[in-house]
């Protein structure tokens, strides 16, 4: 059976959920061979094996942390040459897309970014994408070279599928371009204890209607009652009420949770671009004409300062 | 020596318009008004600021696109860029990211450059890969997705806010950078700027000027193929209630009925 290369996104050996989703999709096309780089690379093997990796290629070097993107491209290319896979799958983070694109160029292949689904096809994998602010769904294929495809978080269910997951050291020699862009300092993001925005099953967002940084505690309380991640519109972020890392939309994160709750958000096209594919959408907005109501499964026309705390209390009461 | 800055800007269909696909499954550019991609305004802004802080600099804006893409160049010129290059050729219709990066890289080399400034993503394709591809092709450092940037003594420095960490980056020129919408509000063209832009030079190049064969680009040269494009079915109309004091409880009831609680 053909092998499919899967680039592993991990933090010091802890595999992030989108990679496990990629393994599910990779198994539709062939046998997943995972590539894990940097600090803790070998520690990823057990989790990857549990989810279907037949092999885990690992390599650690200080270059991965000290220089931007290119060392990882060199390593992925080395893995590509070692395996000759039928396809290469990479998680659709900002960095993942850049790594994938440079690899595609080097190996003479086409690239598809931000796939939301992947199926095997007679002429190679077919990727589903959501475009024009998710108003269209397209099916595309790479028609030259080995398909390189980046896949968005929440595109498939994580499935256990135990496989050998034998660890092999990957041998990598860095190109002279690898050290071009130096990372001179790194400040890890502080953990909020809440789920990762792009990976969360439920996202609770606040917009301009929240009207102040201090009021975001109302949004956070609702999120915590549901075990949800917190999102924000650009208006709320630009006002300085919530960090940019939590922005949902075209220039923020794109989310596709089971449930999205928009509070005090009008539903501008650039916001919709990042949340329109959510399974169930709920909104609280005091303006009955707000475009967000065109998207909702359930909407409450009302003041979020009344509705949201009541909802939070009711959830807590029901959960006991 | 003058700092040569090339800003890559894309002419895109207005995101607030009703965007569609044409019969050949390329982006329909006829039915919706086009404009300079808003995300590339940030690139023009940062390029102008870098130029203003340099002793001597020249800002060239570069676009690949149809005839109307000149509008995007005019807008960038009226913001303050010095000159413009328009790569236009019928054979470019349908070019994908790999092809776009080829044409941009050839044009940037022909123009001469110390620094390339791009936007974080185009508002139509939203791939966010062209700057990395152009860096790969030019063989120069990629310093992308910067929310803050400065250039001094032949070195570019900037801050990249990633998912897991915020990083300070540094590279020597020549380099390719891209900037995010967090890098600072783009200026509005002044009346004077708009008048001055009318007199600024806009060069037109076609594929033969760049030694690119027609087969390398366009739909024929594409590495990817869109096989189907379907409008997403409208979401079925939901239930909308007016809060009369019980809105939160009603919403909780809905969430419970959907098994979220
Ligand atoms: C290139 C570009 C990229 C962009 N990228 C993004 C992006 O990534 N994400 C994004 O979100 N936006 C983005 N935008 C901005 C977008 O166009 C909108 O401006 C933004 O989404 C508006 O945010 P909002 O809905 O919170 O604010 P508004 O549009 O001002 O809406 C606020 C809403 O809150 C309601 N409200 C007010 N008070 C209350 C109350 N007490 N109770 C209940 N409801 C209340 C109002 O009725 C209104 O509907 C982008 C724009 C551009 C040009
Ligand atoms: N046709 C084009 N002409 C000029 N620049 C482009 C073009 N397409 C993409 N770019 C540049 O590449 C950036 C990222 O585009 P993309 O990878 O398509 O999302 C844009 O913000 C532009 O700076």
Which residue, judged by its Cα, is nearest atom 6 of ligand 2? B10
- Option in B162, B182, B245 nearest A95 (CB): B162
Query: Is the distance from the beta carbon of residue A299 to the nearest atom of ligand 1 less than 6 Å?
Result: no
CB pairs under 8 A between A and B: 258
Residue B163's pLDDT is what? 80
Question: A271 at the B interface (CB within 8 A)?
Answer: no
For chain B, which ranges sit under pLDDT 50? Answer: none
| Ligand 2 centroid, distance to A72 Cα (angstroms) | 23
- Partners of residue B231 in chain A, C-beta under 8 Å: 135-136
* Cβ contacts of A301 on chain B, cutoff 8 Å: 240-243, 247
| Residue B125 distance to chain A (closest CA, Å) | 8
Q: What is the pLDDT of residues A98-117, one digit of tens each?
A: 999 999 999 999 999 999 99
Q: In angstroms, what is the span from residue A295 Cα to ligand 1's centroid? A: 15
ipTM of predicted complex? 0.95
Domain regions of chain B by residue span: 3-221
Residues of A in contact with B175 (CB under 8 A): 180-181
DSSP B57-90: EEEEEEEE--GGGHHHHHHHHHHT-SEEEEE--G
Nearest-by-CA chain A residue for B127: A113
- Check if CATH label 3.40.47.10 holds for domain B3-221: no
HSE (side-chain half, CA atoms, 13 Å) at A177: 19
Segment A133-182, tens digit of pLDDT: 888 899 999 999 999 999 999 999 999 999 999 999 999 999 999 999 99
Residues of B in contact with A189 (CB under 8 A): 163-166
Predicted local confidence at residue B1, as pLDDT: 66
Q: Which pLDDT score is estimated for B195?
A: 96
pLDDT value for A242:
97
Q: How far, in Å, is the centroid of ligand 2 from the Cα of B255? A: 42
The segments of chain A whose pLDDT lies below 70 read none
Residue A171 at interface with chain B, using a CB cutoff of 8 Å: no
- Rounded to the nearest angstrom, the distance between the alpha carbon of B122 and the centre of ligand 2 is 5
Contact residues for A239 (Cβ-Cβ < 8 A; gap 6+): A208
Which pLDDT belongs to residue A190?
Answer: 85
């Amino acid at each position: 059976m053909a092998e499919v290369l899967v680039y592993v996104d991990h933090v010091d050996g802890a595999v992030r959920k989108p990679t496990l989703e990629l393994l599910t999709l990779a198994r539709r096309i062939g046998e997943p061979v995972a590539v894990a780089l940097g600090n803790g690379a070998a520690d990823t093997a057990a989790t990857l094996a549990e989810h279907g990796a037949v092999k885990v290629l690992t390599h650690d070097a200080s270059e991965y942390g000290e220089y931007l993107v290119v060392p990882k491209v060199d390593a992925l290319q080395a893995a590509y040459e070692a395996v000759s896979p039928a396809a290469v799958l990479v998680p659709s983070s900002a960095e993942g897309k850049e790594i994938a694109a440079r690899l595609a160029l080097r190996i003479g292949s086409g690239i598809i970014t931000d796939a939301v689904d992947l199926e095997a096809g007679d002429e190679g994998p077919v990727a589903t994408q959501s475009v024009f602010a998710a108003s269209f769904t397209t099916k595309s294929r790479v028609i030259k070279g080995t398909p390189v495809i980046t896949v968005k978080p929440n595109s498939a269910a994580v499935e256990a599928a135990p496989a050998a997951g034998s660890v092999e050291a990957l041998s990598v020699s860095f190109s002279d371009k690898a050290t071009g862009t130096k990372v001179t300092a790194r400040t890890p993001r502080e953990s909020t204890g809440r789920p990762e925005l792009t990976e969360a099953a439920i996202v609770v967002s606040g917009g301009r209607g929240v009207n102040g940084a201090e009021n975001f505690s109302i949004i956070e309380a609702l999120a915590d009652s549901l075990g949800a991640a917190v999102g924000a519109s650009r208006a709320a972020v630009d006002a300085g009420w919530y960090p940019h890392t939590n922005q949902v939309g075209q220039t923020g994160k794109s989310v596709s949770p089971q449930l999205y709750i928009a509070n005090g958000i009008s539903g501008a096209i650039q916001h919709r671009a990042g949340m329109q594919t959510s399974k169930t959408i709920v909104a609280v907005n005091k303006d009955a004409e707000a475009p967000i109501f065109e998207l909702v499964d359930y909407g409450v026309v009302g003041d979020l300062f009344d509705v949201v705390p009541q909802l939070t209390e009711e959830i807590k009461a029901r959960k006991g | 020596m003058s700092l040569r800055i090339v800003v890559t800007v894309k002419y895109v269909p207005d995101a607030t318009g009703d965007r569609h696909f044409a019969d050949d499954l390329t982006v329909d550019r006829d039915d919706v008004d086009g404009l300079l991609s808003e995300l590339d305004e940030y690139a023009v802004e940062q390029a102008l600021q870098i130029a203003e802080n340099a002793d001597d600099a020249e800002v060239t804006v570069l676009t690949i696109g149809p005839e109307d893409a000149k509008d995007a160049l005019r807008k960038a010129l009226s913001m303050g860029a010095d000159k413009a290059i328009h790569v236009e050729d019928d054979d470019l219709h349908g070019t994908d990211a790999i092809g776009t990066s080829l044409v941009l890289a050839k044009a940037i080399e022909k123009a001469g450059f110390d620094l390339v400034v791009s936007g974080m993503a185009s508002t139509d394709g939203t791939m966010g890969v062209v700057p990395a591809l152009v860096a790969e092709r030019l063989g120069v450092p990629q310093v992308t997705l910067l929310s803050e940037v400065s250039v001094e003594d032949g070195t570019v420095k900037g801050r990249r806010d990633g998912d897991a960490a915020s990083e300070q980056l540094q590279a020597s020129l020549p380099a390719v950078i891209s900037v995010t919408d967090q890098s600072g509000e783009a200026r509005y063209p002044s009346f004077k700027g708009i008048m001055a832009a009318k007199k600024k030079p806009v060069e037109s190049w076609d594929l033969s000027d760049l030694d690119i064969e027609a087969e390398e680009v366009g739909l024929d040269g594409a590495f990817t193929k869109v096989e189907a494009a379907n409008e997403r079915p409208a979401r079925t109309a939901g239930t909308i209630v007016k809060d009369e004091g019980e809105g939160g409880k009603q919403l909780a009831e809905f969430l419970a009925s959907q098994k979220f609680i």
